[in-house]
Structure 1
C-alpha cells in the first residue's frame, strides 16, 4: 500500500466522523482503524496503542469498550457506501457465519460449538455475517453475535457481559440472519439474490421467510432434504373402509434430493478462474416442489410434509468425489449455467472472513463485552470497506477504455445473474 493511505483514510472517514459528535471520539475512530490496517501481527488494543505515539491505550480502550456513542450512524454510512460501491440488481447478499476461537468462558457468547472454518467443535464465539458482493468484490455489512442457549438461559451472565435486553432471547442463526436482512432492506441496500450454505438452507422457515419477502435465493441443503416432482398432484384417495378422507394428499411420495437427481442429466460447467486454472464441476438441475409444507399423516407413511414452493433442485459433483445439493427459487427459465454461477458466487464471503481475520484482526479483540465486540467488528468492516474502495479506485484508473467501470460502479466485476 502506498504511503498516503492514512491521508486517504482521513478523507474517506469524514462522513463517519459526523455521527460521532465528540472531538475525542472523532480522533479515536481513525486511530483505531489505522491501527487495524497498519503494520503489526496483533491487532488488539494494547499492541495497536503501543505502535502509535498519537493515542493512549486507556483512551482507545474506552472508545471501543465503554464510550457512550451510538454505532447506528456509522453502520448507516457503511451500508450507504457499500451500496454505492457494489449494490444493484446483480449484487449478491451472502449469509454465512464465522467463528472466533476463544479461551475461557467470560467473553460474551463464548461456548463449545461447531466452528465451520475448523471443521470441528471448539470453544469460540460465532458471528452471523451479511456480505454484499459483486463479482470478486465483497463488502461486509453486518457481523452479529450468536448466543448459544448456555448464555440465553443465564440472565446474570448476559447482564454482566452487557448484552442488551432486546438481544437476550434465544435466536437461531437463521432467525438472526432474517432480522439482519430486514435491516438491510429497510436501509435501501440493493441486491438481486440471497445466497447461503446448508447451515441456513436446511431451515424451511429461513427459505420461506425469504420467499415471503419476495426475495430470490439460492441455498445449500443436505442430501436428505425431501422434495416432490414438480408435477405432483393433490388427490382425495378413496377410503377402503371407515370415513372418507377430508384432506387431500400427494399422489406420489417425497424423496431425498440425492435420489431425485440420480437419473438426471449432468453437465460439466466452469464458473471462474482459480489459482490452478478454471474451476469446473458437473451439475444437474430439475424443477421440484419442496417438501416443507404443513405436516400431515399420509397412510402407513405417517406424518409427512406436504408439497410447498416450486423451486430448482441443483446437484454438484466435484472432481474430488464430493457431492453437494442446493435449492433455488430463481425463475423456471433460468439456464443451468446461471444457476451454477449463483451457487458458486458464495465463495467470496469466505475470502472476506479470512481477510478480516488475517489482515484486520477481527479475531484479535480481547474484551469481553457485547458492545466492545460489536464495535470492534464494525471498525474492521469499515477498514475493509476503505481498502476495497481504494482497490476499485485503482482498478478504475488502470483501465484505458472510456467505457470501463468507474470506481463507484464496478460493473465489470458483476456476476452473471438471470
Structure 2
C-alpha cells in the first residue's frame, strides 16, 4: 500500500490528490479507496522511523558525491502552511500562513531541509499545535494526538528538537540556517551555540545591533525599597540593521560570485562585520557576525547573523550560505506541485505524519535522480522525472519516447535562454554554461 500511495502521488495532478482520485488512477480493487484510507490514517507503521531513515540516507548520499564537503551542507529550518477548511483536521487554526502572506485557516508544519550545492530535500518535520489544541484534551483525543505530544511547544522548540534528533541519528551537516522568524532574538542561536553548531540565521530589517561592544551600566540612583530592581542599560544606543546598512560606503562592500544560475552568474555585494546583541536582560552582550548582502540586479538587501568568526571565515562562505534558502523554497514548491504535499484530505495525527513521510520519501527520490543524472541531463527537473515515471507506469514504450522527445525540446530551449542570459549579463562566461 505504501508503493501504491506513492504511485498515486506521482500519477495524480495537483489539487486532485485525494483518496478517491488516487484510487481511480491506481485502479485498485473495489475497496481500494478504503484500503488507502486505512493505510494512511490508521495503519500503525512508524512515520518517524521512515523520516529518520530518509534523513540518514540523504546525508550519506550527499557524502558519496565527488565534490562533497560537509561544511557546504546546510541544515535549514523553515515552516510551511497547508490551507484547510473546517476545524476538525489536527492542528488547524486561524494562524499566519506564509504561502498566502496573511492569517488563514491552516495547518503549519516546521520542516528541516538538508541542502547541498543546488539540491535540497526535506528530512524532518514537526506539526505545530496551537494552544487551542493542546488545551483541549477532547479535541486531541478525537484526532489521536499521542499523550506525550500534547504539551504546547513553540516553533523554535520544535526546530531545536529536530536538530537534536538528526544529530543523534548521525545526519552530517556543516551549518544550520533559517529565515527571520528563526533568527529573531537570541533563543535559537544560543541553543545552537550550546550544541557546538555553526549557524547563519536571517534576521528582519528591524533587528537591533551594536556595532561596538556596549558597556552595561547600572544607574547610580537606587530603587525605593520594595520596588523592582533598576535595570541595567547600555552606554550607547542600539542601531537597526537597515539603518546601519544605509550608512555603508561603496568601499565597504565586496562583490562575490555565488554560483552560475539560469539567468547568468548570481553576484552579490557583501558586507560582513563583528557586532553585538543585547536584549536588556542578559548578563553580557552576545557577539555575532552580521552578514548583509545586496543583489546587484535590484539592490535588495538581506540580513543575517552568524556565530562564525568575521575575520577568519571567507566572505564567499557567508555569501553561499545566505543564498541557500532559495533551494529550500524550491523543494517546497516541488513537493507541493509535483507530489501533493498540501493536497491531502485527512484529519488525524497519524495520517498527517504518514502523508508527510511518503511525500518526503518521494522528494528524496527525485533529488537523488537529479544528482545521478547531472552529467547526462543537467537540466533535468522534478517535473521531468515525474512525467517520465507516469509514462513508464503505463507500460507503453511509445509514451516514454514521446515524453523524452518533449523533454529534449524543452531542455534545448532552456539552454538557449541560459546562453542568452549569460551573453547579456556576463559575456566572458557565455561559453561556460554547461
- When normalised by structure 2's length, the TM-score is 0.76
Query: Residue 272 of structure 1 aligns with which residue?
Result: 259
Q: CA deviation at 1:138?
A: 1.1
2:55 to 50, 68, 79: 79
2:305 aligned residue: 327
Say if 1:361 and 1:380, in contact at 8 Å, map to a contact too: yes
For 1:17, the equivalent position in structure 2 comes to: none
Once residues 73 and 248 of structure 1 are traced to their aligned partners in structure 2, the CA distance between those partners, rounded to angstroms, is: 48
- Give the structure with the larger helix fraction: 2
Q: Does 1:53 align with 2:27?
A: yes
- Structure 1 residue 139: Cα displacement: 1.8
- Of the three residues 292, 311, 315, the one matched with 1:315 is 292
Residue 187 of structure 1: CA displacement? 0.3
Decide which moves more: 75-84 or 342-351. 75-84
Alignment of 1:13-412 (within 5 A): 28-41=1-14, 42-54=16-28, 56-87=32-63, 88-233=70-215, 239=220, 250-264=234-248, 265-292=252-279, 295=281, 307-318=284-295, 319-320=297-298, 322-332=300-310, 333-395=312-374
Range 38-47 or range 208-217, more displaced: 38-47
Offset at residue 315 of structure 1 (A):
2.2
Conservation of the 8 A alpha-carbon contact between 1:250 and 1:307: no
Q: 1:199 to 1:231 in 2, by over 3 A?
A: closer
Equivalent pair of 1:95/1:128 in contact (CA under 8 Å): yes
Conserved 8 A contact 1:178-1:206: yes
Does the aligned pair in 1 maintain the 2:290–2:304 contact within 8 Å?
yes
Aligned 8 A contact 1:148 1:170 in 2: yes
8 Å Cα contact 1:89-1:190 kept in structure 2: no
> Structure 1 residues 58-67 or 186-195, which shifts more?
58-67
How far apart in 2 are the matches of 1:184 and 1:38? 31
Distance change >3 Å, CA 360–CA 241, structure 1 → 2: closer
Q: CA deviation at 1:396?
A: 5.4
Q: TM-score, normalised by structure 1?
A: 0.79
For structure 2, which runs of at least 5 residues remain unmatched after alignment? 64-69, 379-434
State which drifts further: 90-99 or 311-320: 311-320
Quickly say closer, same or farther: Cα 1:198–1:275, change in 2 above 3 A. same
Q: C-alpha deviations, 1:366-395, integer Å up to 9, x for none?
A: 011111011000000001111222222222
In structure 1, stretches of 5+ residues that fail to align are: 1-27, 296-304, 400-418
* Aligned-pair CA distance for 1:210: 0.9
